[in-house]
Amino acid sequence: MSTVVNEAPPTNPALSAPSGWTDEPAEAAAGGAARMKIERETHKLEKRLCREVGKAIVDFNMIEEGDKVMVCMSGGKDSYALLDILLKLKARAPIHFDLVAVNLDQKQPGFPEHVLPEYLASTGVPFHIENEDTYSIVKKLIPEGKTTCSLCSRLRRGILYRVADELGCTKIALGHHRDDILQTLLLNMFFGGKMKSMPPKLVSDDGKHVVIRPLAYVAEKDTARWAAHRNFPIIPCNLCGSQENLQRKQVGEMLREWEKRFPGRVENMFNALQNVVPSHLLDGSLYDFKNAKATGIASEDGDKAFDKDEFAAPSPSLPGVQVVQLS
């Protein structure tokens, strides 16, 4: 059974705690300065999120005039942030497009089915709750202790494609961010033997839908900060009993550690995805190595085999790092 709600948000009076009383003006001033700093940082975060999402939409032509965008809501911080920022951009965009939020209730035991409908009703955005017991199917087909995410995601994808058709949606928006994209790149390299990641925009495997990832330029730490600021009612993702030591989680922790120890490394990795030089890889389908011949014409992409690599040396102060100068 499905539910569709298209109601304006109920009017809720704003609630605020009474002002605090203090005999110490200096403490009050300090508290006021701290609040102002938090407000400034929050304003900067909102501007950055809107700028990065807007840039991704423009760079990859994700949303066009008249689009009806289905925003997939899982109840996690990223999908909440995606919907929140798209609502802000919709109000100021130079084109008209519509949003509809969609959640798939997969009937996991303990799933708080009231949370998302109540939140979505408060935003005024049209929404649709699709009820499908994929949990029982997954539990029946996957042995206990095995990873369930792959089958679960395939079932979920098929259902969401069907719902997009039923709702007349022209785009399907997912909440994957920059870190998800990099994690997928490393997972495919380490375990799949492929240089492959999550594209910001793609045509679905059935050829009928366009899937977009407007958070492609957004760092996960920013969606986490925004979710905390907005106090989204987060629904945990482990209700199905998903395993804690998944490879994706381990790769995510590795990226966070890299960013902590080597600031800028993760950003450089992401930039590399946008600066690919096929002639300097090994894929013969992307570059015709077999027929490569000297032409006598200079090329900026030509191999500089005898030049030294111009990479910044790692800091010698880091433990376990040895800097070796090659002659």
Name the binding residues for [4Fe-4S] cluster: 149, 152, 240
DSSP states of 209-254: -EEE-TTTT--HHHHHHHHHHHT-----TTTT---TT-HHHHHHHH
Residues across the chain: 327
Residue 149 contacts residue 187 (beta carbons within 8 Å): no
Detail the residues annotated as belonging to a binding site: 149, 152, 240
- CA separation, residue 243 to residues 135, 140, 225 (Å): 15, 17, 25
Whether the Cβ atoms of residue 45 and residue 226 lie closer than 8 Å to each other: yes
211 burial level (CB within 10 Å; 0-12, 13-18, 19+): buried
User: Sheet holding 210-212: strands in order across?
Assistant: 3-5, 127-131, 98-105, 68-72, 171-173, 210-212, 201-203
Cβ–Cβ < 8 Å for 55, 86 = no
Q: Using alpha carbons only, what angle is made at residue 205 by residues 81 and 5, rounded to the nearest 5 degrees?
A: 45
Q: How many CB atoms lie within 10 A of CB 71?
A: 26
Q: Are 177 and 52 contacting, i.e. CB atoms less than 8 angstroms apart?
A: no
First to last CA, the chain: 70
DSSP code of residue 308: P
In this structure, the number of other CB atoms found within 10 A of the CB of residue 79 comes to: 25
